[in-house]
Each structure stands twice: as C-alpha cells, then as structure tokens.
Amino acid sequence: MTPAESSENKQLLQQAFAALANGDSRPFVECLADDVVWTIIGTTSWSGTYRDKPAVLAELLAPLGARIAGRYRVGAHRFIAEDDLVVVEARGNNTTRGGQPYDNSYCWVCRLAGGKVRELTEYADTALVNTALGDRLGDSPG
C-alpha cells in the first residue's frame, strides 16, 4: 500500500467521523464493506463478531440506536494511518432513552481495502456498555 492510499483511507474515515459527530451516520455506514467483520472486545452481550453489513446493521447498530435518545454521536480526536490500517480514537456524546449519559471512549482499529472498511475491532469501556446499554437482546437499563 502506498502512502497516498494510506492517506486516502485516513481522509475517508475523517469525513465519516466528522458527519458522525453531528449525528449523521450515513457516511460511516456507507464506508462499511458488504463483507465487513466488526469485532467488539470484552464479555458483554454486545461483545463478539458481527459478520457482514446486514448483520452489523440489524444486530449491532439497530439495537444501539433503539437505546439512544436522538441521533447517535461520536467525535473522533485522533486518526493514525499506516499501510491498510486506520486507528480512530473517539468519544461518544449520547444519552440513553432512560436519561443516562452514554459518553463512551473508543478506539477502533480499521482495516480498509478498496475504499471500504473490511475489518473493524472496537475497544471501549465495557463496564459503561453494561450499565448504560444493558443486554443487547433484552431490556435496556432504566
């Protein structure tokens, strides 16, 4: 991978996260490959590996959106790009429908190819995930 391609990957995610900071998830979703593999670390009910874009949308993003009041917002403050990887450090700015702050800190390690995110590994505060979001398949707290 050339330095120019690495820079293009970084710019793609910078644009997607600029929109996400304002509650517009469309550019971020559009950069996910159809065969994306999204892994969330930890042992929460949200943790695990989601394989392909329809699964990410239905099994991860839809349940998350159902627990957040208003539009989901995440602002990125650091992007590090090397080869086909872009690392994104970010912080959420959200409130659950139950009124609890959900301002998680994230580190996403993204592997891109062909202008799309093919693999994403998410690191976050899993204790906050449990207390604010509850069980992905069940009721949310509060």
Helices (H), 42-130: 53-55, 62-67, 126-128
Structural domains in the chain, CATH included, are 3-133 (3.10.450.50)
- Residues of 73-99 as b/e, b for ≥16 C-beta within 10 angstroms? bbebeebebeeebbbbebebebbbeee
Rounded CA separation 79/136 (Å): 29
The phi-psi region of residue 106 (left if phi > 0; otherwise alpha if psi is between -120 and 50; otherwise beta) is beta
What is the reported pTM? 0.93
Contact (Cβ atoms closer than 8 angstroms) between residue 63 and residue 138: no
Residue-level pLDDT, tens digit, the chain, 142 residues: 788 889 999 999 999 999 999 999 999 999 999 999 999 999 999 999 999 999 999 999 999 999 999 999 999 999 999 999 999 999 999 999 999 999 999 999 999 999 999 999 999 999 999 999 998 877 666 5
